[in-house]
Structures are given as structure tokens and as C-alpha cells.
Amino acid sequence: MMTRHRLGNEMVDLVPELRALVPPAIVFDKPCYSPWLDGRLHAFLQQQEITTLVISGGETDVCVLATVVGAVDLGYYIVLLKDGICSTSDQTHDASLSLFGTRFSSQLRLASTEEILSQWG
């Protein structure tokens, strides 16, 4: 239900506040749940020598899950913004957060947006 075809371009585009940052920010559109399958994002991150990802997004139990598991497989350390992800199902959102926080605790950290921004400040 969260596809460009069903929602339209305006619903899956960046919000104006983020759109104003492109460029210099780079956008990688993905045709499926995982952003890793075509290799462009991973190649770009390797070229930049990036080893840690801060992840937010929609559908905790689908796209975020695919992104996190793929990033773990590729060796990235993840900071998952627990207040920067959402799902259409509260039950599977909560279960996913539990999974991330327990099963993947060596590969990722759950943090609030405020925590991360205060560390960057």
C-alpha cells in the first residue's frame, strides 16, 4: 500500500525541508523494500568510507526491517531512530522494535532523535 503507484509521487517525495537540501544531499530511490539490492547505495557508502548508518523511515516491519537486516549483512553499524520510524501496524512495529533491541543489539543501537542530535551538537 506504500508504493509510488498507489500513493502518487507527492506522497513519497521528500518533505520540503529535506528537499531544500538536495543537492548537496544525494537521493537514492529504491524500487523494492531493500535499498541494497542494486548495489548503488552500498558502493556509494563504501566510497565515502561510511561505517555507521542512522536509519529512519516508514514501515518498521517492512522497509526499515529490510534496510536494517541488509545493512547488518553488509557490516554497517546502525543507529535506529526509535521515534523516527513508524508502521501501519502497532503490533508489528512494537515487535520489530523488540527484535531490533534484543536480537541485533550487537549490530545496532536504538536511540531517540533528540539523543542523536544532542551528540552531534
Q: What amino acid is encoded at 52 in this protein?
A: T
List the domains of the chain with CATH numbers. Answer: 4-120 (3.40.50.850)
**Each residue of 50-89: pLDDT tens digit?**
999 999 998 999 999 999 999 999 999 999 999 999 999 9
Q: What angle do CA 25, 30, 33 make, to 5 degrees?
A: 125
In this structure, the chain runs to a length of 121
Residue 88 · residue 63 · CB < 8 Å = no
The confidence band for 4, taking pLDDT boundaries of 50, 70 and 90, is: confident
The confidence band for 29, taking pLDDT boundaries of 50, 70 and 90, is: confident
